[in-house]
């Protein structure tokens, strides 16, 4: 028999299971991985440098495009840093809205992760189920911002506008019957809060469906149990955050430990794993879907009963109302000046972080007193996780590399910023 020699294999950069523009150089002994070298830089779009050339408020839409599955959570990290610099106190209603949309975003992220991770290792049905629920939540994004993905809804001082009293409805077309449209619009007769409340009531049973397909499925367990094991000590040393850290048994969650928005006013639990393998990280994220739903229900209840402002009453930071702008030349000038020139925070430096779905997303800003940051540094969770690729796949088979990329939940917009 001919001797099997080590060889080098290129995985990516355009690979369906690479979850972005990842190039992995794998050194292999037959099917077994001996070394994995992640190469990044093939996507790089200089987000941090671009933000240093624009007024603070013009960079908010860039944040959506970093981790383009966790849009509003990225905005939250950036906006929190600006608010720290400005010394702004956000109205309580806006904090509850942010908390609710952060959790809607977490569910959106975890559904995308669940569908693609399952697809990567051979399960097709879960992908279709997960996108069915994502559709409803995308409609919530669209209802408040007009965009399904890149919302730019969070603003320094609050949010762009209050929650709408009416949900957009499906219209009959040549492809739909009146009965079908009526069924789709059943939950859309009231306000956005009514729609979100209806979703929160339905969602636990839908998570049960995902678990029926995967949790005790022997093929799923064969592909994930014991794969990519990381000890709690090593997870901390590697800079893991979010489900990657909690999956290794470390109970760390910024929503509890360094509370922001309205997280100190809602009740939820932090799920943690035991063995630190891919299956544990799956179970942690599934439980996070349930806990996020629990938080959303509490926010809906509070927002129904507590009207109020959603933006600070400081016209150095917040634009004038539409009526002021249209009826008064001074308001119009102020509007244009705010969106073209922005505002000048005092000189200093600040770091603000949020518990994004993938882990700790933080923004470090140095201000020199100008209307744009002197320096912006983004702490993206996926960057630290990808650095652990070599030791997580060493000794595993080639097919397990796909499972490990999936369990990391990497998105290259934030890694290759």
Q: Are 167 and 195 in contact (CB under 8 A)?
A: yes
Is residue 1 predicted with pLDDT exceeding 60? Answer: no
Is 7-414 assigned to CATH 1.10.10.10? no
- What whole-number distance in Å separates Cα of residue 36 and Cα of residue 389? 7
Length of the chain: 417
pLDDT in tens, 178-193: 778 888 888 899 999 9
259-263 average pLDDT score? 94
- What whole-number distance in Å separates Cα of residue 323 and Cα of residue 333? 14
Q: Classify 371 as helix, strand or coil.
A: coil
Helix orientation angle between 192-214 and 125-145, rounded to the nearest 10 degrees: 160
Residue 48's pLDDT is 93
Nearest Cα to 56, choosing from 356, 261, 338? Answer: 338
293-315 average pLDDT score? 93
Across 16-30, 131-145, 213-227, 331-345, least confident range: 331-345
Residue 4's pLDDT is 57
- Return phi, psi of residue 98, to 5°: -60, -45
206-225 average pLDDT score? 95
Q: For all residues of the chain together, what is the average pLDDT? A: 92
pLDDT in tens, 145-178: 999 999 999 999 999 999 999 998 888 887 877 7
pLDDT in tens, 349-370: 999 999 999 999 999 999 999 9
pTM for this structure? Answer: 0.94
- What whole-number distance in Å separates Cα of residue 318 and Cα of residue 18? 41
């Amino acid at each position: 028999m001919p001797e099997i020699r080590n060889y080098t294999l290129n995985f990516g950069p355009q690979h369906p299971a690479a979850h972005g523009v990842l190039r992995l150089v794998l050194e292999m002994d037959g099917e077994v991985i001996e070394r994995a070298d992640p190469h990044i830089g093939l996507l790089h779009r200089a987000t941090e440098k671009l933000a240093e050339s624009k007024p603070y408020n013009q960079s908010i839409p860039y944040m959506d495009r970093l981790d383009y599955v966790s849009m509003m959570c990225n905005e939250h990290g950036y906006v929190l840093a600006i608010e720290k610099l400005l010394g702004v106190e956000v109205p309580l209603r806006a904090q509850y809205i942010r908390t609710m949309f952060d959790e809607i975003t977490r569910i959106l992220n975890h559904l995308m992760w669940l569908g693609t991770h399952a697809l990567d290792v051979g399960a097709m049905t879960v992908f279709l189920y997960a996108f069915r629920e994502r559709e409803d939540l995308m409609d919530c994004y669209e209802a408040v911002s007009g965009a399904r993905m890149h919302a730019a809804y969070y603003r320094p001082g609050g949010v762009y506008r209050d929650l709408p009293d009416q949900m957009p409805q499906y219209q009959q077309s040549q492809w739909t019957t009146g009965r079908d449209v009526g069924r789709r619009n059943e939950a859309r007769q009231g306000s956005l809060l009514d729609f979100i409340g209806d979703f929160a009531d339905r969602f636990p049973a839908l998570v049960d469906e995902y678990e029926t397909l995967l949790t005790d499925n022997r093929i799923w367990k064969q592909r994930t149990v014991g794969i990519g094991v990381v000890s709690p000590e090593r997870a901390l040393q590697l800079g893991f955050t979010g489900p990657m850290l909690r999956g290794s048994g470390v109970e760390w969650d910024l929503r509890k430990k360094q509370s922001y928005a309205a997280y100190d006013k809602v009740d939820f639990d932090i799920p943690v794993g035991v063995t630190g393998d891919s299956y544990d990280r799956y179970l942690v994220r599934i439980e996070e879907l349930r806990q996020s739903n629990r938080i959303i229900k509490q926010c809906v209840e509070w927002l129904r009963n507590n009207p109020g402002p959603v933006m600070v009453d400081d016209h150095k930071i917040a634009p004038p109302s539409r009526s002021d702008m249209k009826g008064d030349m001074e308001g119009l000038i102020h509007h244009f000046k705010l969106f073209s020139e922005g505002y000048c925070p005092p000189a200093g430096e600040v770091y603000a972080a949020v518990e994004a779905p993938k882990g700790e997303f933080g923004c470090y800003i140095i201000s020199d007193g100008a209307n744009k940051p002197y320096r912006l540094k983004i702490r993206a969770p996926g960057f630290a996780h990808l650095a652990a690729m070599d030791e997580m796949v060493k000794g595993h088979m080639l097919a397990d590399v796909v499972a490990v990329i999936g369990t990391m939940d990497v998105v290259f917009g934030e890694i290759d910023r």
